[in-house]
Amino acid sequence: MVDPLRTKIAAQADLHLQLLPGTDVVLAWSLAAELERSGALDTAFVAAHILGAEDFMARARQWPAARAAAVCGLTENEILTLVRWLADIEPLVLSPGNGLERGRNGGSAVRAAIALPALLGKLGNGNGIVLGASNAFPKTPNRLQRPDLIPDGTRTLNINDIGRHLAESDVDPPLCGLFIYNHNPIVVHPDQNRMRRGLARPDVFAVGIELTMTESMKYCDLVLPAATHFEYADLYPSYGHHWLQRAEPVIPPPGEALPNTEIFRRLAARFGFDEPCFKATDDELMDDAVDKADPRLLGMKPSEIPTDRAVQMTGPDGEPMVLFDNVLPATPSGKIELRSETLAKRWGAAALLPDWRERETSHPLMLISPASDKRISSTLGGLGASHQASPPLLMNPEDASKRDLRHGIEVRLWNERGEVILPLSVTADVPPGVVASEKGAWLATSRTGQTISALVSSDLKADLAEGACFNDTQVEVSRV
């Protein structure tokens, strides 16, 4: 297990590498270099199936175990132990979890980690990588989303910048209208206080669709009641496996609640949009979302998949899809691309290869925000104990001693963007230099009316996809 936090799974692991946040790519490079030094790389597989292996290894060789250990907050022996295990274990299954990508080096970290099984030739034959399964499904997004209807010159804004655009009116024309659905930006966006300032502008007209009165909905001029997933039909591709399912409603929507699709159909009609796609039923939208001609659907329309079964997305041989058993990489070269021209074209020249940006130190502690077992992000945050108590702040005993802080007291967690009062839990579950508190808590849990999202920069972006860096936040902790 590789994780800064000693999670329940990490506590059961035979080996837990409690590295510092943002150093995963350095660890992966070091593992690759030491595996090469020990003769463990599968040179024949690399030559046949990997593009850019030598470029990747040129960077990796700069990080022998001793040097990487100093940066990652590990011991040299921990890295070398994992090297031996990776070389010896068969089959090898790597499972990168969510959260790894939420840092300045997040994309590079994922790329470097999943390079390791490839360099070892351990793909197929029981080996593999457990990762997002979205590409397993024959989705047809252009047919569903109709980008051909977007007028020329329509701008696209990064959702992480919306708070700044609202608060500072730094785009022309300025944002004066906002539609919030399937989202709780006050709680889950970085730079929470800037988002609140932006939503509080009197000249911003905000509309929300929600199940419950979240703290974001309180900023809306109009709130439309949403239907739950129990109340409408939908199609469900998976977040992590290869089965496609369909569900029918089990109860009707209460009161005036409507599914998002019906709300948008009615809005389209009022705006006078008369293209057929704006009148499409939910069944028709399902059929537009997935290619019904794909042989794995066995001639069924997606909207007609029986609700008592699931349709498996298999390989060409009808067997479960496994990379290098019955499917190959869907890259331009047909190989595993450790050097990616595609990524460089989309995200800039620096994305050609996995890279590492060192942390700029403004505060001595690094805050990570793991998931809670009481919420799904901020969903369910308004219920029961999750709504009443602040999540604790976890701090290593070494850091607590330096600050004369003791277990159980309330502490002030702060940086230049905001401050949060949290109960302190002194524990070795986090390494020195790292503090952790669960994401998704609502403002009502906080004495300051702020949660840890207030401390996260919205200006610092991950290296791929420009995502928010929730696990790359610099803070300090002091007595209240």
pLDDT in tens, 332-362: 999 999 999 999 999 999 999 999 999 888 9
Pair (223, 170) in one structural domain: yes
* Residues 9-25: tens digit of each pLDDT: 999 999 999 999 999 99
* Residues 446-459: tens digit of each pLDDT: 999 999 999 999 99
The CA distance from 65 to 76, in Å, is 5
Sequential DSSP letters for 6-50:
--HHHHH-S--B-PPTT-HHHHHHHHHHHHHHTT-S-HHHHHHHE
Give every CB contact of residue 270 below 8 A, 6+ residues apart in sequence: none
The CA distance from 72 to 271, in Å, is 55
CA atoms within 13 A on the CB side of 410: 10
What's the rounded mean pLDDT across residues 52-74?
Answer: 98
Backbone angles phi, psi at 113, to 5 degrees: -65, -45
359 within domain boundaries: no
Tell me what the pLDDT averaged over the chain comes to. 95
Pair (308, 325) in one structural domain: no
Whether the ω angle into residue 173 lies within 30 degrees of 0, i.e. cis, is yes
Is residue 436 within 8 Å of residue 428, measured between CB atoms? Answer: no
Tokens at 70, concatenated: 């100093």
149 within domain boundaries: yes
The CA distance from 273 to 5, in Å, is 51
* Residues 227-248: tens digit of each pLDDT: 999 999 999 998 788 999 999 9
Number of domains composing the chain: 3
Give every CB contact of residue 373 below 8 A, 6+ residues apart in sequence: none
The predicted pLDDT at position 127 comes to 95
The CA distance from 71 to 93, in Å, is 26
Domain residues for 27? 8-133+320-352
* Residues 120-157: tens digit of each pLDDT: 999 999 999 988 888 899 999 999 999 999 999 999 99
229 within domain boundaries: yes
Pair (35, 148) in one structural domain: no
Pair (245, 324) in one structural domain: no
* Residues 355-399: tens digit of each pLDDT: 999 988 899 999 999 988 877 788 877 776 656 688 999 999 999
The CA distance from 298 to 286, in Å, is 16
Pair (66, 101) in one structural domain: yes
Q: Cβ-count burial of 316 within 10 angstroms (0-12 exposed, 13-18 middle, 19+ buried)?
A: exposed
Residue type, 211: L
Pair (55, 89) in one structural domain: yes
Is residue 35 within 8 Å of residue 86, measured between CB atoms? Answer: yes
The predicted pLDDT at position 324 comes to 95
Tokens at 310, concatenated: 């699931």
2 within domain boundaries: no
**Entry pTM:** 0.94
Is residue 24 within 8 Å of residue 114, measured between CB atoms? Answer: no
The predicted pLDDT at position 385 comes to 63
71 within domain boundaries: yes
Residues 372/376/379/383 CA torsion (nearest 10 deg): -50
User: Where does 197-304 show beta strands of DSSP type E?
Assistant: 205-210, 222-225, 234-236, 243-247
Is residue 413 within 8 Å of residue 452, measured between CB atoms? Answer: yes
Residue 96, domain CATH: 3.40.228.10
1 within domain boundaries: no
Pair (299, 162) in one structural domain: yes
Residue 416, domain CATH: 2.40.40.20
Pair (188, 224) in one structural domain: yes
Pair (287, 346) in one structural domain: no
Pair (277, 397) in one structural domain: no
Long-range contacts of 338-341 (CB under 8 A, 24+ apart): 338/50, 338/51, 338/52, 338/53, 338/55, 338/56, 338/111, 338/115, 338/118, 339/51, 339/52, 339/55, 339/56, 340/52
Residue 197, domain CATH: 3.40.50.740
108 within domain boundaries: yes
The predicted pLDDT at position 1 comes to 96
Pair (96, 122) in one structural domain: yes
Pair (59, 194) in one structural domain: no
Burial letters 34-59, b for 16+ CB under 10 A, else e: bbeeeebbbeebbeebbbbbeebbeb
Rounded to 5°, angle at Cα 313 from 310 and 316: 140
What's the rounded mean pLDDT across residues 312-318?
Answer: 94
85 within domain boundaries: yes
The CA distance from 82 to 88, in Å, is 10
Taking only Cα atoms into account, the Rg of the chain, rounded to an integer number of angstroms, comes to: 24
